[in-house]
């Protein structure tokens, strides 16, 4: 009677075909590997036993990435914002599963994942999306490690492509004036005004409610964002970070613009009648629902064209606001708080090149401390050296 094998045992047998089959027992089940050489089977047994010692389970040894990711998504989405959860699902279903889905978890290695990234790039997927794929895959496999399905995260050793920063396009003060003049009378005139004055994100602007604004103090609270999720329409979500939830001081010109916005909205409310949906939104549609993102962008591009300005992204209004603040010597810490960055260092990383005077100041200081001063050297009778400066600093004796 053959001896029943437990974990950490392996056997190698020669098959009638001349090949070799290695087997290891794990959790009462047998794992098998077939090769033409005994040495390859021996290497497989050693590697498998090492994985078992590190915590590999039978389930982990048999689970494919396809099976695992589908189950992982169900749990992961409960802790994600709706739009983020939808993006995760699209990345998994459209990119990861079609290429790597049939691989078993235990077969994944850093070079396997690197080849996957190259496959996506060759398919025309942008570097930013591939880096997002890396983030999702790493997060999913890290959970597999915690569940004991993997002994280590193979994505740790993978190398996602470098993200090339696109050119940041900003308007100067004169161009901002042109832009706001061209926007007069446009349905989203006040939104554009607030965007370029505060640097708020588009999703934050669309999520503003009238009760977020204190008319007496001029303080505007940023509490939420509007996101469009396929199949669900527009939903309200909280800012991603604690610093994203912030209070911004508005100037009198911005408050006056918002008074005009309220008048416009009251007219639309009366006109809509029973069709009006009271969401208390500052920048609502003509029936009170969240403004459509695509309509806002169309009008934004139209205003740029009417102003005779180059086409930029709506997000570049945020960069424009930051640029103007920094060029007018607003402290980086203050700008960071207004923009809702987690740390001032993030603001510096993005906008350091926009801070005026830094290079000029460095050049001036370096000139002062290391510029050579012409001197003449003389010797007196006592063999002392007299250094006579032509810069007006007198004579030094050495």
Specify the pLDDT at position 135: 93
Domain of 121, CATH number, reads 1.10.150.130
Both 324 and 227 in a single domain?
A: yes
Is the predicted pLDDT of residue 243 greater than 70, yes or no?
A: yes
With CA atoms as reference, report the closest residue to 337 among 249, 252, 251, 213: 249
Both 311 and 206 in a single domain?
A: yes
Specify the range with the lowest mean pLDDT, choosing from 143-152, 168-177, 189-198, 354-363: 354-363
DSSP-assigned states of every residue in 28-40: TEEEEEEESSHHH
Provide the 3-class DSSP secondary structure of residue 285: coil
Both 39 and 116 in a single domain?
A: no
Both 88 and 180 in a single domain?
A: no
Both 143 and 262 in a single domain?
A: no
Residue 382 domain-assigned (yes or no): no
Confidence of residue 113 (pLDDT cuts 50, 70, 90): very high
Mean pLDDT of 168-197: 94
Q: Looking at 157, 185, 215, which one is the last position of a domain?
A: 157
Residue position matching structure tokens 């964002």: 225
Residue 4 domain-assigned (yes or no): no
Is the predicted pLDDT of residue 200 greater than 60, yes or no?
A: yes
Tokens standing for residue 218: 């001029």
Both 227 and 325 in a single domain?
A: yes
Cα 85 to Cα 90, 181, 396: the distances in Å are: 9, 40, 75
Both 111 and 259 in a single domain?
A: no
For the range 215-222, what are the long-range contacts, defined as Cβ-Cβ under 8 Å and sequence gap of 24 or more? 215/255, 218/249, 218/250, 218/251, 218/252, 218/254, 218/255, 219/247, 219/248, 219/249, 219/250, 220/247, 220/248, 220/249, 220/250, 221/246, 221/247, 221/248, 222/246, 222/247, 222/248, 222/340
Specify the pLDDT at position 7: 45
Specify the pLDDT at position 4: 40
For the entire predicted model, the pTM comes to 0.63
Is the predicted pLDDT of residue 292 greater than 70, yes or no?
A: yes
Residue 168 domain-assigned (yes or no): no
Provide the 3-class DSSP secondary structure of residue 64: strand
Specify the pLDDT at position 259: 96
- Taking only the tens place, the pLDDT of each residue in 203-229 is 999 999 999 999 999 999 999 998 877
Tokens standing for residue 303: 């205003």
- Taking only the tens place, the pLDDT of each residue in 8-19 is 567 888 888 888
Mean pLDDT of 231-238: 81
Higher pLDDT, 344 or 53: 344
Both 84 and 30 in a single domain?
A: no
Confidence of residue 253 (pLDDT cuts 50, 70, 90): very high
**Average pLDDT of the chain to the nearest whole number:** 83
Residue 370 domain-assigned (yes or no): no
Mean pLDDT of 236-258: 91
Tokens standing for residue 116: 């996957």
Would you say 37 and 57 are in contact if contact means Cβ atoms under 8 Å apart?
Answer: no
Residue 162 domain-assigned (yes or no): no
Residue 134 domain-assigned (yes or no): yes
Would you say 117 and 134 are in contact if contact means Cβ atoms under 8 Å apart?
Answer: yes
Would you say 111 and 103 are in contact if contact means Cβ atoms under 8 Å apart?
Answer: no
Both 89 and 30 in a single domain?
A: no
Residue 228 domain-assigned (yes or no): yes
Both 270 and 309 in a single domain?
A: yes
Residue 91 domain-assigned (yes or no): yes
Q: Which residues form the domain of 153?
A: 65-157
Q: For the chain, how many structural domains are there in total?
A: 3
- Taking only the tens place, the pLDDT of each residue in 61-78 is 568 899 889 989 988 888
Both 327 and 273 in a single domain?
A: yes
Domain of 203, CATH number, reads 1.10.443.10
């Amino acid at each position: 009677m053959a001896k029943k094998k437990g974990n950490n045992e392996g056997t190698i047998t020669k098959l009638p075909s001349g090949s070799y089959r290695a087997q290891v027992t794990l959790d009462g089940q047998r794992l098998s590997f077939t090769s033409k050489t005994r040495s390859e089977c021996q290497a497989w047994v050693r590697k498998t036993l090492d994985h078992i010692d590190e915590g590999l389970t039978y389930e982990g040894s048999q689970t494919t990435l396809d099976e695992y990711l589908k189950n992982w998504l169900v749990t992961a989405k409960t802790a994600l914002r709706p739009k983020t959860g939808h993006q995760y699902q699209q990345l998994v279903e459209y990119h990861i599963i079609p290429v790597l889905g049939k691989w078993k978890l235990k077969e994944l290695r850093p070079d396997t994942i690197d080849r996957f990234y190259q496959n996506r790039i060759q398919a025309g997927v942008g570097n930013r999306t591939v880096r997002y794929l890396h983030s999702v895959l790493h997060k999913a496999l890290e959970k597999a490690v915690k569940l004991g399905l993997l002994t280590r995260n193979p994505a740790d050793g993978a190398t996602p492509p470098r993200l090339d920063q696109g050119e940041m396009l900003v308007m100067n003060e004169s161009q901002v004036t042109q832009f706001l003049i061209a926007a007069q009378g446009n349905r989203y005139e006040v939104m554009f005004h607030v965007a370029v004055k505060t640097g708020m994100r588009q999703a934050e602007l669309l999520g503003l409610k009238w009760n977020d604004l204190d008319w007496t103090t001029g303080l505007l609270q940023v509490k939420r964002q509007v996101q469009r999720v396929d199949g669900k329409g527009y939903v309200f979500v909280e800012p991603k970070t604690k610093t994203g939830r912030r209070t911004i001081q508005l100037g009198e010109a911005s408050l006056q613009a918002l008074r005009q916005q309220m008048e416009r909205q009251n007219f639309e409310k009366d006109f809509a009648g029973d069709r009006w949906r009271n969401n208390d939104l500052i920048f609502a549609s003509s029936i009170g629902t969240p403004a459509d993102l695509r309509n806002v962008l169309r009008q934004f591009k139209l205003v740029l064209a009417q102003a005779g300005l180059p086409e930029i992204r709506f997000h570049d209004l945020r960069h424009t606001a930051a640029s103007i603040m920094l060029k007018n010597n607003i402290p980086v810490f203050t700008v960071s708080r207004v923009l809702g960055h987690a740390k001032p260092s993030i603001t510096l990383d993005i906008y350091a090149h926009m801070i005026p005077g830094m290079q000029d100041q460095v050049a001036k200081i370096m000139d002062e401390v290391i510029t050579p001063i012409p001197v003449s050297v003389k010797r007196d009778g006592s063999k002392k050296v007299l250094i006579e400066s032509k810069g007006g600093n007198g004579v030094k004796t050495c």
